[in-house]
Amino acid sequence: MIKIKQVILHTITQNLKTPFTSSIGHVTNRESILVEVIDEEGFTGWGEVVAFSTPWYTEETIFTSLHLLKDILIPLIVKQTINHPDDLQNIFKKIKRNNMAKASIEAAIWDLYAKKQKISLSMALGGTKEVIDCGVVIGISSTPNMIEQISCYVEEGYKRFKIKISPKQDIKIIEDIKKHFPNLPLMADANSAYTLKDVDRLKELDQFQLMMIEQPLGSDDIIDHAKLQEKLKTPICLDESIVSSEDAKQAIELGSCRVINIKPGRVGGLTESKKIHDLCQKRSIPVWCGGMLETGISRAHNIALASLANFTIPGDISSSTRYWEEDLVQPEIKAENGMINVPKQIGIGFKVNMEVIKKLRKSLIIIDPDDIEK
């Protein structure tokens, strides 16, 4: 049973070690909201808003998420008794979408719940793996630069490689990469850069035997993806199109994809992520855990989620040092030979470094139950 004493929102900004570019956005500075929830017994849970500063991935932004948390979502939960993190789905159901804001507070409650139960977050979610395989993402840049990055990641033992593509940079770059690394477990992420008019171009990708092509068509589309999958040998993986377990069900039944990427922020939290995982497991659809350029707090949640049995494809969960000079958790999240150990300590299994948060913090909002009008 959880009775919330206080919620603290820390808005921080970090500089990425290397700017990240896809077909729909370019990120150099990463703004985040860290959600700290403290209950009446003194237990603390942590979550993170993984929206970006502009609405290029979903309609949410850091600014809109801050408003939703402060003015709508937190007032809904601070005066309630929460028996289990799953309860939040019912509490939040009257609020449409805004999944990244919902997921951040839900993640903190999951962490807090696991700590109160004296178990790891992985165990609380039903995870079975002690070690997870890791993949990496290579943003759009010059071909020599991408090949150099891949060479480094191959040396580090990563198990899956994802490159960003667009109609302006796809076949040639994949061809060049495959010449250098013919057996590389490679996938391509299009971030909705194509339409059905590009079907012949997309069919050319079949020759490279990619693991999958992720989200080639519109983010709000399931039907056209089914038409495209009929014409491709390469498996389609859906990302932005899947924001709920119901979306996943429809996509599977229509044949819109053969793989699904699960990001807790995109689908509204760990509870919905688990529902999608369980559905896909029953339908023999493999899943993997996507990344959002997160801090170590969300990365820790993703590690726990990826310990579930049907996460059979290495996810976008790599070492913190790929992104940050100094991460927010201790010990630093580190992949060794392309694998990360699933923490056995209670909660997320990492200590949050408040000194680093204070250095990066741009604003602080403290919300007590007494501050909320009845």
Residues marked active site are found at: 164, 263
DSSP line for 72-103: IIHHHHTTSEESSTTHHHHHHTTS-S-HHHHH
From the list 112, 87, 92, the residue with the least C-alpha distance to 102 is 92
Task: Fill in the amino acid letter for 328.
Answer: L
CA distances, 144 to each of 16, 55, 151, 180 (Å): 21, 31, 10, 11
Residues 6+ apart with CB under 8 A from 113: 2, 45, 84, 85, 124
In which residue are the tokens 């449409």 written?
Answer: 96
Residues 6+ apart with CB under 8 A from 302: 264, 289, 291, 294, 315, 317
Phi-psi region of 157 (alpha: psi -120 to 50; beta: other; left: phi over 0): left
Helices (H), strands (E): how many in the chain?
14, 16
Distance CA 79, CA 75 (A): 7
C-alpha 319, offset from chain centre: 15
From the list 47, 44, 77, the residue with the least C-alpha distance to 368 is 77
Cβ atoms < 10 Å from Cβ of 263 = 28
Beta bridge partners of 34: 10, 48
Distance CA 123, CA 305 (A): 10
From the list 11, 49, 110, the residue with the least C-alpha distance to 293 is 49
Distance CA 37, CA 367 (A): 10
